[in-house]
Chain A
Amino acid sequence: MGILNAEGAEEALHLSQASPEQAAAILALLVLPMAGFLLTGLLGRRLGERPWIIAVTAILITAAIATVLAFGALTSSEPMAVGFSLYTWIPAGALQVEFGFLFDNLTAVMLIVVTWIGTLVHIYSIGYMAHDPGKWRFFAYLNLFMFSMLLLVLAASYLVVFAAWELVGLSSYLLIGFWYKRRAPALASKKAFLVNRVADQSFVVGIMGVFLLTGTMDILDSFAPFQSVDPLVRNIVALLLFVGAAGKSAQFPFHVWLPDAMEGPTPVSALIHAATMVNAGVYFVARTSPLFASAQQAMLIVAAIGIFTAILSASIALTQKDIKRVLAYSTLSQLGYMFAALGVGAYVAAIFHLMAHGFTKGLLFLGSGSVIHAVDGEQDMDRMGALRRKIPITHWTFLIGALSLAGIPPLAGFFSKDAVLAESFLFGYSWVFVIGLIVAGLTGFYMFRLMGKTFYGESHVDPAVEPHVHESPRSMTVPLILLAIPTVVLGLLIGPVLESFTDSRIFGWLEPIFRQADEILGIHPHEYELLGIDGALILASVTVAAIGIGVGIWLFGFFGRRARPDVVERTTQRNRLTRALYRASFNKWWFDDLYSLVFYRFGGRLANAVMWFDVRIIDGVVNGTGSVTQATGERVRHIQTGRVQNYALGIAIGLVVMIALFILLAR
């Protein structure tokens, strides 16, 4: 399928039929994790001390196949796009849904992120979960998650995407609540699932809308018919889809579930809530870019929500004490960047940031897991400190991650963040740029606040724990090192190094995918001016990041420098305003309390009223029917006397009636 523009110049992705080898490889990507899940789930207990064998093997093979496929696609001279359909899932007249798969450069990029980080997390979990008696369950769920996520990025039809969407949510629920016997994880997993469910209602309605307007459930096929729909309707549908994506990717107002999801084991936080699942929303909006491109008002809202989430969560990250919470809010913030990029039309930048952030945040989370492991389960940074000499590998890799996240060249985070900011400025959204810049500064600050409290300065570690602080086993540190590599070199390899973003390799990979959307938006590449506007933008973002880092170091210490808690105290307590701001940030701007009030208290009263109605009236009718029937039966039952003479009387009466009728009717 291809679309010829009226000018005849551009054409959209030409989807060709996959070769049998490609189809088999794609199917293998799905079958292997599913098999891993089933086998580990069924045989897990019997595998004793090494239940991870099946799961890790499955995922290693999957990653290998994915890498081969992805590099095959990305290095080919022609932009590749193949697809195939496994079978017609729903053949119902007007509704024809194929269980089909799509593989193009965007898919390839997603596959790399998902499978590489997934593999490293699996290996990391071998060490991290070594003492947990339920680890067979853990690995089974991890494989289930991999299956769901891969299905999501490979799907060619909205309905299959939705099915995978829900599956991913299920895996997240199972993994967040892995330690289900404890109260907090159980509540957190429920919260995650419910919030996602609310957003998914909108998602489903959006999909239905797409089907009604375009007549097809196939993603690529829906682009062209969508253009001719009424603009208002296009915006509404796009917004509905975006709300669903916002739920999955924890954007405002659905951001409340992600910080609580940190109750799950750290590998879960790394894989699902940093590198893969939360990116599903971003991926979906990118995949359906032509739909959004033709709904400009919706795009605006996407950008607004994205950047708002970014600054909101960055502001909360400034004051959090739990190391994982800081990272969670940071994730929210970076996801906000991605949506802002999508909203302004900078699709490639958004995906580039997705990649870089995936590796960076994965590294940071696994590192935090290593830290927590070292201090025997403590997650409060107030009880850490001066760990850098005791857990050197963790420390150095963490430092690399922090620098990348803050956006310091030449690390990957710099290139991707700069791409997002620059593109938004160049497309004319200066408000997004300014807010994004502020967020960059905040990011630098809170990351190095984290570094200072955790690794530098004086040790506030619990004296009972302190003697046992040790570096993590190799199964945990090796993934850290492996993740640090792309964090350092990704930008250099595929980013715009001394060249225009549009000349970079990543751009070359992904541009064909977004060509259709670019056409609709009227976006054209611009001339690169390193010494002009582009250089200025780079300078701005690096400067702001450096300032943030500097303040963080000054207040919280760095290597030999000591922290200044007194300055921190004075600053935050200086006047009413600062105290109020500090409290607002610490309490997450009271969103959870607001939701609790609205949904729990008011919603609860509404639910009680409905329940009264249900119990009294509806159940009353049902039970009433039952008791009436029973009472009637009780009476009628006495006809069965068992005596023939009574039956004979009945016959006689019947005979009388019949004769009477006969006579009457014959007259």
Chain B
Amino acid sequence: MELPQTVPYLEWRWDDLVFLVLAGVMLGAALLVVLGRDIIRSGLWLVLSFAGLAGIYALLGSPFMALTQVLVYIGAISVLILFAIMITQSKAGPSQLVFQRQWWAAAIAAVLLVGLLLTAVLLTTFPLAADLVPQPARDIALLLFGDYLFAVEVVGVLLLAAVVGGLYLARRDPDMPETNRLGGPGGLPAGPAAPADEEEAA
């Protein structure tokens, strides 16, 4: 997919503009995920970050990856995360501290890590083609159902195992009914449906 050559007024190429916008969205959303106070908002920012990344995949010439990203990450994983957030929510949530005691050490470590990796990346000369090459889905399909067919099947089994395991781990325990209630020590956050839910779940 190609865009008009340059952006009016800035004389940038369109690709670059789009790239910058998408990159900004992705990184910004990611930052908001980790810096946010409210976990539900973090989850939503995560969705936005995934979306930005999908756009970048498209920019890289891999529509298949872009669509897969949207389908799986946004469509499944994010939903799963949001469900988990809702199950483990507690009334006392937002007032608690969001960061651990070691956050400053974590920040330093992260910054150092980024610095080192950037050094490594920027100082290395990769043997590359001159320009990016689009990756049609057809080539990917040929590989998946050709050379890597067995791997695909194995991944299928892996996902089955994950599903079964997840079901088992998160199941309600009939011997300990008090653990089956939704929400924390105070029950779910106050809301119109709360009292009825509490009675039902008990």
| Chain A positions near chain B (C-beta within 8 angstroms) | 645-646, 649, 652-653, 655-656, 659-660, 663
Contact = CB atoms under 8 A, between A and B. Distances in A.
A649 B109 contact: yes
B116 A649 contact: no
A645 B102 contact: yes
14 contacts: A645-B100, A649-B105, A649-B109, A652-B109, A652-B113, A653-B109, A656-B109, A656-B112, A659-B116, A659-B117, A659-B120, A660-B116, A663-B119, A663-B120
Given A645-B102, A649-B102, A649-B106, A656 B120 contact: no
B102 A655 contact: no
B7 to A, nearest CB: 37
Contacts of A646: 102
B173 to A, nearest CB: 24
A129 B110 CA distance: 91
B98 to A, nearest CB: 14
A281 B72 CA distance: 102
A458 B120 CA distance: 119
Nearest to B119: A663
B113 A655 contact: yes
B116 A656 contact: yes
Nearest to B114: A656
Nearest to A658: B116
Contacts of B102: 645-646, 649
A646 B100 CA distance: 10
A655 B109 CA distance: 9
A241 B117 CA distance: 81
Interface string B169-200: 00000000000000000000000000000000
Interface of B: 100, 102, 105-106, 109-110, 112-113, 116-117, 119-120
Contacts of A660: 112, 116
A426 B147 CA distance: 118
Contacts of A649: 102, 105-106, 109
Contacts of B110: 652
A646 B105 CA distance: 10
Nearest to B100: A645
A652 B106 CA distance: 8
A659 B113 contact: yes
Contacts of B112: 656, 660
Contacts of B106: 649, 652
Nearest to A653: B109
A645 B99 CA distance: 12
A650 to B, nearest CB: 10
A655 B116 CA distance: 11
A196 to B, nearest CB: 71
A656 B110 CA distance: 9
Contacts of A659: 113, 116-117, 120
Given A645-B100, A646-B102, A649-B102, A663 B116 contact: yes
Contacts of B119: 663
Nearest to B110: A652
A44 B100 CA distance: 77
A645 B102 CA distance: 9
A205 to B, nearest CB: 67
A255 B158 CA distance: 94
B105 A656 contact: no
Nearest to B106: A649
A584 B117 CA distance: 98
Contacts of B120: 659, 663
Contacts of A652: 106, 109-110, 113
B26 to A, nearest CB: 22
Given A656-B112, A659-B120, 9 more contacts: A649-B105, A652-B109, A652-B110, A652-B113, A655-B113, A656-B113, A659-B113, A659-B116, A660-B112
B12 to A, nearest CB: 33
A140 B102 CA distance: 76
A659 B114 CA distance: 11
Contacts of B113: 652, 655-656, 659
Nearest to B111: A656
Contacts of A653: 105, 109
Name the 8 nearest CB pairs between A and B, nearest first.
A652-B109, A659-B116, A656-B112, A656-B113, A649-B102, A653-B109, A660-B116, A663-B120
A109 to B, nearest CB: 91
A649 B105 CA distance: 8
Contacts of A663: 116, 119-120
A656 B102 CA distance: 16
Most buried by A among B106, B109, B120: B109
Nearest to A667: B123
A511 B81 CA distance: 111
B154 to A, nearest CB: 28
Nearest to B117: A659
A649 B120 CA distance: 22
B125 to A, nearest CB: 13
B100 to A, nearest CB: 6
Most buried by A among B100, B106, B110, B116: B116
Contacts of B117: 659
Most buried by B among A649, A653, A656: A656
A468 to B, nearest CB: 93
A628 B112 CA distance: 34
A488 B112 CA distance: 108
Contacts of B109: 649, 652-653, 656
Contacts of A645: 100, 102
A653 B111 CA distance: 11
A645 B116 CA distance: 22
A434 B87 CA distance: 119
A663 B112 CA distance: 13
A407 B109 CA distance: 104
Nearest to B109: A652
A206 to B, nearest CB: 72
A655 B105 CA distance: 14
Contacts of B105: 649, 653
A656 B113 CA distance: 5
Nearest to A652: B109
A656 B115 CA distance: 10
A447 B93 CA distance: 111
Nearest to A646: B102
Contacts of B100: 645
A621 to B, nearest CB: 38
A639 to B, nearest CB: 12
B120 to A, nearest CB: 6
A660 B120 CA distance: 9
A660 to B, nearest CB: 6
Nearest to B116: A659
A652 B119 CA distance: 17
A610 B105 CA distance: 53
A494 B38 CA distance: 120
A663 B106 CA distance: 21
A100 B113 CA distance: 78
B112 to A, nearest CB: 5
A661 to B, nearest CB: 10
